[in-house]
Amino acid sequence: PIDSLWQLYIYLCMEKSQRVNDFILQKLKGVDEDIEKGRSRRITLNLAGNNHSMPVERLTNEDFLILSKTLEKNPYVNGLDVRYNLISDAGLYYAAKLLQKQHNLIYLNLMFNDIGPKGGELIAKALHKNTTLKYLRMTGNKVENKGGMCFAAMLQMNSSLEKLDLGDTDLGMQSVIAFATVLTQNQTIKAINLNRPILYGEQEESTVHLGHMLKENHSLITLHMSKHDVKNSGLKQLCDALYLNRSLRYLDVSCNKITHDGMVFLADVLKSNTTLEVIDLSFNRIENAGANSLSETLASHNRSLKALSIVSNNIEGEGLVALSQSMKTNATLSNIYIWGNKFDEATCVAYSNLIKMGRLKPDDTDVQPYEVDGRVYLSEVSNGLKRHYYWTPTYGEAFSHSSNAGFSLVPVGQQL
């Protein structure tokens, strides 16, 4: 019998008369070393095709076939990350087979391959019977409405998947509504990402349905709905649901069309909601009036929100200073991200003082003060709620608290 993964891989390549991919070979040798040294609990095989100082040979469908056969019976590897490779629908046939045969896999990351609706359907159908996978990442694969419908149908059958990312997959209105409908029943999904669907029409139907879902669902912890064309009336639907919802802790409504009118609803619900801990409002347009509404609630009522991102919201000094003042009476709000707004001198002094006093830790904000000729300015720092969503750095800690504060504060499913 062949003991090591890399030898098995070479043997299978010879058997199928296929060229050995050096990138896979080196990574498998690394996993074998980990297993040998007894670091065998929870190994993720990282075969990401991007982010290498040395260019690598990206995985093709043929490579993925051999790889899946190599891992089929291995009890140690329980995470597989093959993002940014050349895997298409044909390759997903092997991924589906792997999910049927490999009962240790809890994490599968397929983001930004060439997977379409057919591949989405294959993997969704494989998950009807799978009971081990906890986190699936399909980000950036254009499974479209058809694939989205298959994933929604899968959530009616599957009761083990906890985290599903379908951001940037060209979901349509129909599939977003289907997700909202099945999530009123599904009790195991803790985090879902439905960013950037392709929506037509001005009715905000999808937001209405997601709002209704939040009234019924008691298990969802994280909801990402960036680029959903949410306007103030849509945000009101979500806020109405948040008076009743007692499980959602992280709400991402970044890159929408929310203005200061919407902040009236949000500020009001935050007076009574005690579960929301992270709110991402980046790239909306809440302006001074919106920031003032929020700061009033944060100063006098809310004591559960831990992180607020208001990056690029056209807020001027008045609103930014009001938020900094609210942090003096509110001891719970620990993280605030403000870059991309209009800083005046009062803003720079206010946030500089919060950092100096130790009220705001340098890791928990995206600005850092510096002084020139006796005047204080703020510069940008690469901290945020999800800075490493699309890529992970090649050096330093990939999942550092400061760059991925959203996940650190609300850890759903382990980060693999």
- Which CATH number do you get for residue 329? 3.80.10.10
234, 241 contact by CB (below 8 A) = no
Rounded-to-integer distance, Cα 302 and Cα 348, Å: 25
Residue 75: its pLDDT value, please? 87
Q: Does a structural domain hold residue 25?
A: no
Q: How many domains does the chain have?
A: 1
153, 127 contact by CB (below 8 A) = no
Instruction: Collect all residues with Cβ–Cβ distance below 8 Å to 205 and sequence separation of at least 6.
Output: 173, 177
Q: Does a structural domain hold residue 395?
A: no
Question: Domain residues for 144?
Answer: 91-107+118-380
Q: Does a structural domain hold residue 18?
A: no
What 3-state class would DSSP assign to 108? strand
Query: What is the reported pTM?
Result: 0.95
138, 111 contact by CB (below 8 A) = yes
Residue 73: its pLDDT value, please? 87
Q: Cα 389 to the chain's mean position, in Å?
A: 6
Phi, psi of 252, rounded to the nearest 5 degrees: -110, 110
Rounded-to-integer distance, Cα 145 and Cα 150, Å: 9
Phi, psi of 42, rounded to the nearest 5 degrees: 60, 70
Q: Which two tokens stand for residue 120?
A: 């989405």
Rounded-to-integer distance, Cα 416 and Cα 412, Å: 11
| Nearest Cα to Cα of residue 415 among 403, 398, 402 | 398
Residue 358: its pLDDT value, please? 96
Q: Which two tokens stand for residue 275?
A: 């579960």
Residue 412: its pLDDT value, please? 84
Q: Does a structural domain hold residue 394?
A: no
Q: Does a structural domain hold residue 125?
A: yes
Q: Does a structural domain hold residue 235?
A: yes
In sequence order, which ranges of 53-88 are alpha helices (DSSP H)?
A: 61-71
Q: Does a structural domain hold residue 83?
A: no
Phi, psi of 44, rounded to the nearest 5 degrees: -105, 125
Residues (pLDDT < 70) of the chain are 1, 39-40, 51-52, 396-399, 414-416
What is the H or E stretch that residue 107 is in? strand 107-109
Beta strand 43-46 pairing with 375-380: unpaired
- What's the N-to-C CA distance of the chain in angstroms? 30
Beta strand 278-280 pairing with 307-309: parallel
Residue 416: its pLDDT value, please? 41
Handedness of CA 270, 271, 273, 274 (dihedral sign): positive
Q: How many Cβ atoms sit within 10 Å of the Cβ of residue 306? A: 18
Q: Does a structural domain hold residue 78?
A: no
Residue 397: its pLDDT value, please? 66
Beta strand 367-372 pairing with 375-380: antiparallel
